[in-house]
């Protein structure tokens, strides 16, 4: 049983305040959908949780989970950029991240799962946008980590890909995983929602209050 709790988080980037006084609570088996208009701070929040951006106020705490690892070290971060090297083959790319992030060297299965089995030996340079996205999502399967931080994971995926992704996320949540996903429009599954860009946000019943942002 893990829990990520944010108390009064505030984030400044490039000197401008992105959001402030943000409270939320996500526990394993839950998915928190972070929504909001462009520039509301979704990516910033995810990067902040991943430890890639420093909060300028408030604290972010993790109950349960491995105490001597940071949140980021127990999390998968899938951002706007897919960390792929054009001159390495699809398989080499995945194999490296699997080894570096501490997966069990299993590569073929994840590739097949995201539908890149036949392209395993093609240089990543040759991949289409959706194929690149699929490859970076394959990390989620290749390496077992409890927390997923997904920034618009469905972007440039085709219908089939989006369905597969939704299943993947459901399965993870069902397994007791914990997901924070920044999404536009419809979420793939019923989930808590954290609307940004509408003043201070409170979610997840933390401090006993249910915010009006809670999904109707």
Partner 1 sequence: MSLIDLANPSRFSAVTARVLPWLIVATILAFAVGGVQTYFAPDDYQQGATVKIMFIHVPAAWLGIAAWGVMSAAALGTLVWRHPLADVAAKAAAPIGAAFTLMCLLTGSLWGRPMWGTYWVWDARLTSVLVLFLLYLGVIALWHTIDDPTLAARAAAVFTLVGAINIPIIKFSVEWWNTLHQGASVFRIGGSAIHPSILVPLIGMLTAFTLLFLTLHLAAMRNEILRRRLRTMLLMKADAAARA
Partner 2 sequence: MRPLSALLVRDIRLAVRVGGGALVGVLFFLIVVTLVPFAIGPDLPLLSRIGPAVLWLGALLATLLGLDRLLASDYEDGSLDLLLTGSTPLELAVAIKALAHWLTTAVPLVVAAPLLGLLLNVDLGASWAVSLTLLAGTPALTFIGLIGAALTVALRRGGVLLAVLILPLNIPVLIFGVAASNAATAGTVPFGGAFLILCALSLMSLVVGPVAAAIALRQGLD
- Please pick, from the candidates 38, 100, 159, 208, the single residue that binds partner 2 as defined by CB under 8 A: 100
What distance in Å separates the CA atoms of residue 108 and residue 127, rounded to the nearest whole number?
17
* Separation CA 188–CA 154 (nearest Å): 9
Q: In the numeric block, which tokens belong to residue 66?
A: 């491995």
DSSP E strands in 28-162: the ranges are 31-35, 57-63, 75-78, 147-151
**Rounded Cα–Cα distance for residues 101 and 89 (Å):** 18
Q: Which does 155 bind (CB under 5 to 8 A by kind): partner 1, a copy of itself, ligand ATP, none?
A: a copy of itself
> Running DSSP on this structure, what letter comes out for residue 202?
B
Contacts (CB under 8 A) with partner 1, residues 107-126: 118-119, 121
Catalogue the E-assigned strands of 153-191: 178-182
SS3 135: helix
127 binds partner 1 (CB under 8 A): no
Q: Does 161 bind a copy of itself (CB under 8 A)?
A: yes
* Residue 121 binding result from a copy of itself, partner 1, partner 2, none, given CB thresholds of 5 to 8 Å by partner type: partner 1
Q: Is 190 in the site for partner 1 (CB under 8 A)?
A: no
CA neighbor of 172 nearest in space, from 144, 139, 134: 144
Positions 164 through 203 that interact with partner 2 (CB under 8 A): none
| Span of 77-85, 171-179, 184-192, 208-216 interacting with partner 2 by CB under 8 A | 77-85
For residue 179, list its beta bridge partners: 31, 148
120 binds partner 2 (CB under 8 A): no
The entry of partner 2, partner 1, ligand ATP, none that residue 36 binds, CB within 5 to 8 Å by partner kind: ligand ATP
Query: What's the CA gap between 91 and 81, in Å, rounded?
Result: 18
Name which of residues 3 to 62 contact Mg ion (CB under 5 A).
43
Judged by CB under 8 A, the stretch of 30-38, 55-63, 84-92, 99-107 that binds a copy of itself is: 30-38
Of residues 13 through 32, those in contact with partner 1 by CB under 8 A are: 14-16
The strand pairing partners of 27, in sequence order, are: 3
User: What is the rounded distance in angstroms from the CA atom of residue 166 to the CA atom of residue 174?
Assistant: 12
Give residues in contact with partner 2 (CB under 8 A). Answer: 13-14, 47, 50-54, 69, 72-73, 75-77, 79-88, 92, 95-97, 99-102, 125
């Amino acid at each position: 049983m893990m829990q990520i709790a944010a108390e009064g988080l505030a984030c400044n980037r490039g000197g401008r305040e992105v959001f402030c006084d943000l409270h939320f609570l996500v526990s394993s088996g839950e998915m928190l959908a972070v929504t909001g208009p462009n520039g509301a701070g979704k990516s910033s929040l995810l990067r902040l949780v991943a430890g890639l951006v420093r909060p300028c106020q408030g604290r972010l705490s993790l109950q349960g989970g491995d105490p001597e690892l940071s949140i980021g070290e127990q999390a998968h971060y899938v951002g706007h950029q897919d960390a792929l090297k054009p001159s390495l083959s699809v398989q080499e790319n995945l194999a490296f991240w699997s080894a570096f992030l501490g997966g069990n060297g299993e590569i073929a299965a994840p590739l097949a799962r995201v539908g890149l089995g036949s392209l395993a030996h093609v240089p990543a340079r040759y991949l289409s946008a959706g194929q690149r996205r699929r490859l970076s999502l394959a990390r989620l399967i290749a390496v077992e980590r409890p927390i997923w931080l997904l920034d618009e994971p469905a972007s440039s995926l085709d219908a089939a890909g989006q369905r597969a992704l939704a299943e993947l996320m459901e399965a993870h949540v069902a397994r007791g995983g914990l997901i924070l996903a920044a999404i536009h429009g419809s979420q793939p599954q019923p989930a808590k929602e954290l609307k940004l860009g509408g003043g201070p946000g409170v979610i997840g019943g933390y401090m006993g209050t249910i915010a009006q942002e809670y999904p109707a």
